[in-house]
Homo-oligomer: A and B are copies of this chain.
């Protein structure tokens, strides 16, 4: 089955009628529509997307741009698979497909984005891993390509849509909780501060210290990628430091694996010798010993909401989703583990 022409010839009717029947237009005889749908099914006809896109000016596809530090998969308990689930749930209500776009290693971030926008391969974009200063916001705004961001940025404007996690809130809550449990030397491990979540994490941390009457000590702020190796390295630096902290807040739970190991090598016990709280809840934390105290987020709901935000930016659906908020900050729940017991006197 090649195209609508062949299908129309097969039925001895015009392509226009076939098209209208297939697209559910009202002005088609019920009997004709039935014949068309049956023939399409039988012959396996599906419209060529290029033809539709060219004619309609839209592709019916939304692109999610992931950077290499993001993570989908590894079971449904992870963050991105759930966000994607939520996104697809919202988008599929309107027949929109989601594709994931990964920037090739050799290509510059900006150039990749520019190409994706200009080629009109998708109708809208979802960007992630926002930075404090993020040129993608002005660029996309100027380009006219509808978009939403998973993560906010100083560069975003009031008309931009984004949903973000409450990193500031959990950093503050973690500090307060650790303070109440007797800790006075509380360290922080986050990503580079040009990642917006890193800046937020630091901000919440400082606010937490303030509210507890603790002074900020830059030596207690560690930087790392959010992986196992980063956690291990931070463990080493903690062991060497003069004023060894009694507690640490991690911004990525995978770090705990390396940190647990490094403490073990030094004959120390996580929890007992160093209290640990991490973002985000994941199976890893649940199966470590001691079980990780961490923060939980409803990632599917976040994804669904992000999808609705995106729909509200698309001309075809803007009206229907007019009352979707433009920006949203999603709260975390604390999941108590065994990695931050009250400090022994």
A→B interface (CB under 8 Å): 44-51, 53-54, 59, 61, 63, 66, 68-78, 80-81, 84-85, 88-89, 92, 97-102, 104-107, 114-115, 118-121, 225-229, 231-232, 254, 257-258, 260-261, 264-265, 283-284, 286-289
Contact present for A121 and B61 (CB under 8 Å): yes
How far is it, in angstroms, between the C-alpha of A98 and the C-alpha of B74 when the chains are bound?
21
In the complex, which of the residues A68, A77, A231, A260 has the most CB atoms of chain B within 10 Å of its own CB atom? A68
Q: Which residue of B lies closest to A80 (CB)?
A: B73
How far is it, in angstroms, between the C-alpha of A264 and the C-alpha of B290 when the chains are bound?
10
Residues on the B chain within 8 Å of A254, using CB: 74, 283
How far is it, in angstroms, between the C-alpha of A330 and the C-alpha of B303 when the chains are bound?
37
Contact present for A115 and B46 (CB under 8 Å): yes
Pairs A-B, 6 closest by C-beta atoms: A46-B118, A71-B73, A100-B100, A50-B53, A71-B74, A228-B283
How far is it, in angstroms, between the C-alpha of A102 and the C-alpha of B229 when the chains are bound?
30
How far is it, in angstroms, between the C-alpha of A51 and the C-alpha of B81 when the chains are bound?
33
Contact present for A73 and B68 (CB under 8 Å): yes
How far is it, in angstroms, between the C-alpha of A68 and the C-alpha of B80 when the chains are bound?
11
How far is it, in angstroms, between the C-alpha of A61 and the C-alpha of B260 when the chains are bound?
43
Contact present for B104 and A88 (CB under 8 Å): yes
Contact present for A49 and B120 (CB under 8 Å): yes
How far is it, in angstroms, between the C-alpha of A78 and the C-alpha of B74 when the chains are bound?
10
Q: Which residue of B lies closest to A44 (CB)?
A: B118
Contact present for B287 and A120 (CB under 8 Å): no
Residues on the B chain within 8 Å of A66, using CB: 72-73
Contact present for A69 and B75 (CB under 8 Å): yes
Q: In the assembled complex, how far is the CB of residue A338 from the closest CB belonging to chain B, in whole angstroms? A: 12
Contact present for B99 and A284 (CB under 8 Å): no
Residues on the B chain within 8 Å of A77, using CB: 227
Q: A105-B88, A120-B48 are in contact. Are A286 and B228 (CB under 8 A)?
A: yes
Q: Which residue of B lies closest to A48 (CB)?
A: B120
Residues on the B chain within 8 Å of A284, using CB: 228, 257, 284
How far is it, in angstroms, between the C-alpha of A226 and the C-alpha of B78 when the chains are bound?
14
How far is it, in angstroms, between the C-alpha of A37 and the C-alpha of B286 when the chains are bound?
56
Contact present for A229 and B287 (CB under 8 Å): yes
Q: In the assembled complex, how far is the CB of residue A110 from the closest CB belonging to chain B, in whole angstroms? A: 12
Residues on the B chain within 8 Å of A89, using CB: 104-106
Q: Which residue of B lies closest to A259 (CB)?
A: B287
Q: In the assembled complex, how far is the CB of residue A55 from the closest CB belonging to chain B, in whole angstroms? A: 9
Contact present for B46 and A50 (CB under 8 Å): no
Contact present for B289 and A261 (CB under 8 Å): yes
How far is it, in angstroms, between the C-alpha of A231 and the C-alpha of B229 when the chains are bound?
23
Residues on the B chain within 8 Å of A231, using CB: 287
Contact present for B289 and A264 (CB under 8 Å): yes
Q: Which residue of B lies closest to A229 (CB)?
A: B283
Q: In the assembled complex, how far is the CB of residue A77 from the closest CB belonging to chain B, in whole angstroms? A: 7
- Return 12 A-B CB contacts under 8 Å, by A number: A49-B120, A53-B53, A66-B72, A68-B81, A69-B75, A71-B74, A73-B80, A77-B227, A92-B107, A97-B121, A228-B287, A257-B284
Contact present for B68 and A76 (CB under 8 Å): yes
